[in-house]
Amino acid sequence: MASMRGLGVFLRVFAGMGGLVAVAAVTACAGASSSSVPGATSAATLVGAPVPVASAVVAGSAVPQHAPGTARPRTAASRAPATSPSGALPAAGNPGGAAVPAAGQAVDTSHPDRVIGRGTPASCTSAAVVAAVAAGGVITFSCGPNPVTITMAATATVASTSHQVVLDGGGKVTLSGGGTTQILSMNAGWEQQWPQLVVQNLAFTDAYSGTQQVSGSSVYGGGAIFDEGGQLKVVNSTFLGNSCYASGPDLGGGAIRAVGMYLASPVYITDDTFSGNSCSNGGALSGLYANFDVINSLLTGNKAIGWGANPAAAGTPGGGSGGAIYTDGNQYNLDVTGTVMRDNTAREGGGGIFFVVNAGGGTLQIESSTLQGNSSGAFQNAPGIFDSVNGQDTQPVVVSSQVSLAPRVRPLCGAELSAPSLKTYISGDQPGIG
Query: For residue 20, is it within any domain?
Result: no
Query: For residue 1, is it within any domain?
Result: no
For residue 310, name the pLDDT band (cuts at 50, 70, 90): very high
Query: For residue 57, is it within any domain?
Result: no
User: What is the rounded CA–CA span in Å between residue 211 and residue 253?
Assistant: 12
Asked if pLDDT for residue 423 goes beyond 80, the answer is: no
List, in sequence order, every beta strand (DSSP E) within 188-230: 196-205, 208-209, 225-228
- For the chain, the distance separating the N- and C-terminal CA atoms, rounded to the nearest angstrom, is 25
CA distances from 154 to 212, 227, 357 (A): 18, 16, 35
pLDDT in tens, 118-144: 999 999 999 999 999 999 999 999 999
Query: For residue 275, is it within any domain?
Result: yes
pLDDT of residue 359: 96
pLDDT of residue 399: 96
Query: For residue 52, is it within any domain?
Result: no
Asked if pLDDT for residue 428 goes beyond 80, the answer is: no
Helix (H) or strand (E) holding 11: helix 2-15
For residue 407, name the pLDDT band (cuts at 50, 70, 90): low
Among 164, 92, 99, 4, which Cα is nearest to 335's?
A: 99
Helix (H) or strand (E) holding 257: strand 256-259
Asked if pLDDT for residue 320 goes beyond 50, the answer is: yes
Give the count of domains, the chain: 1
User: What is the rounded CA–CA span in Å between residue 241 and residue 223?
Assistant: 9
Query: For residue 318, is it within any domain?
Result: yes
List, in sequence order, every beta strand (DSSP E) within 18-87: 21-22, 57-58
**Helix (DSSP H) and strand (DSSP E) numbers for the chain:** 3, 37
Asked if pLDDT for residue 35 goes beyond 80, the answer is: no
Query: For residue 102, is it within any domain?
Result: yes
Q: What whole-number percentage of the chain has pLDDT above 90?
A: 68
CA atoms within 13 A of residue 349's CA, in its CB half-sphere:
32
Q: Which domain holds residue 354?
A: 86-406
User: What is the rounded CA–CA span in Å between residue 204 and residue 155?
Assistant: 13
For residue 87, name the pLDDT band (cuts at 50, 70, 90): low
Asked if pLDDT for residue 429 goes beyond 50, the answer is: no
Sign of CA dihedral 162, 126, 139, 234: negative
